[in-house]
Amino acid sequence: MARERQGFIFGFKWGKALRNLPAELRHEVQDAIIDYGTDGTVIPMSDAARGIFEFIRIQIDDNNSKYENTVEKRREAGRQGGAPAGNHNASQKQAKQANGCFNKQNNQKQAKQADYDYDCDCDCDCDKKKKISASP
């Protein structure tokens, strides 16, 4: 099942370089880039536009090649499949690895507490009586 691409990469550097061109030449090159990036067709253009476009076409071809290689590698990995049927450990192991940084935080020990007893029981029996002296 072939999947149609939804876009192509238009480099920022291309835009900066194209801004310095005269408007007519810039539009001609931009149209060529869009047509080539969309469906691979090369439209007729002036010699000046073709000279500029060829540098960009090479980069578009390289990007397409990288994309196709990535798609093929992922396709092959998908054909090989994941863990064998009935192997529940593979999914559990992946989940533990994904949450590994949180696991360390949850398993930390409590900090040691000081062995001080701040509970103070003061039992004072004050049996002192004030002497009241008789004044003359």
Q: What is the pLDDT of residues 68-94, one digit of tens each?
A: 899 888 888 888 876 666 666 655 555
Q: What pLDDT, on a 0 to 100 scale, did the predictor assign at position 40?
A: 87
Share of the chain above pLDDT 90, in %: 26
- Closest listed residue to residue 21, CA positions, set 8, 34, 6, 31: 31
Question: What is the mean pLDDT of the segment spanning 4-28?
Answer: 86
Q: Hey, is 16 helix, strand or coil?
A: helix
Q: What pLDDT, on a 0 to 100 scale, did the predictor assign at position 116?
A: 65
Q: What pLDDT, on a 0 to 100 scale, did the predictor assign at position 120?
A: 59
Q: What pLDDT, on a 0 to 100 scale, did the predictor assign at position 61?
A: 92
Q: What pLDDT, on a 0 to 100 scale, did the predictor assign at position 136?
A: 56
H runs (alpha helix) in 40-128 = 47-80, 89-98, 100-106
Identify the DSSP state of 83: S
Note whether 71 and 48 are within 8 A (CB).
Answer: no
